[in-house]
Amino acid sequence: MQVLSKLVALASVASATYNGFNYGSTNTDGSAVTLEQFTNLFTTAQALPNTNGEFSAARLYTMIQAGTTNGVISAIPAAVNTNTHLLLGLWASAGQADFDNELAALSAAITQYGSAFTNLIAGISVGSEDLYRISPTGISNLSGAGADPATLVNYIGQVRTLLTNAQVTAQITHVDTWTAWVNATNNPVIEAVDL
């Protein structure tokens, strides 16, 4: 019920709908997706036939350019160049040191691209399926490392602090399976997110 109440409350606040696709930081051969490739992907999505340009958003899983420690992912300048809205992702399943690199990349993107970037932020996802991965089902499916609710709440707080210090307003969420959201042990994450 708490999840439903939060969703209903947020639905009245939300004013924009975004349609788009998920984009990883690497190609199928493991190489980094380049600025040119992200630009082509975003432009192609916006030009899909019979869609009136409605696919003008992208979901990212990380802020870090593949092959770097904390360099800004090339999707950011590609989004600025193509006016693509972004659901930013900060990877949360690798521990604090790696999350620090995600925060560094987010901070660098804000500094480097300013409002041309921040005006395109549709939201920020702290993690992706971290709660599922630590669930009995996730573990039996060998889904990899995850993060517990307390860790995610801590990371969400770190992102809020970064945004406040940078004077950026953005809604924060966590993306997970529906089973994670109905598991009462994950309620601290539900209480920490905006949507």
Q: 155 pLDDT exceeds 50?
A: yes
106 Cβ contact partners less than 8 Å away, ≥ 6 residues apart: 63, 88, 90, 124, 159, 162
Q: Which residue has the higher pLDDT, 168 or 12?
A: 168
CATH number at residue 154: 3.20.20.80
The identity of residue 155, as a single letter, is Y
By DSSP bridging, strand 55-60 and strand 121-128 are unpaired
Q: Count structural domains, the chain.
A: 1
Residue 27 belongs to domain spanning: 2-192
pLDDT of res. 15 = 63
The token duo for 106 is 């987010």
Question: pLDDT tens digits, residue range 123-134?
Answer: 999 999 999 999
Residue 12 has pLDDT above 80, yes or no: no
| pLDDT above 50: residue 157 | yes
Distance, CA of 78 to chain centre: 16
Q: Per-residue pLDDT averaged across 168-188, rounded?
A: 96
Percent of the chain whose predicted confidence (pLDDT) is above 70: 92
* Phi and psi based region of residue 89 (left: phi greater than 0; alpha: psi -120 to 50; beta: remaining): beta
pTM beyond cutoff 0.85: yes
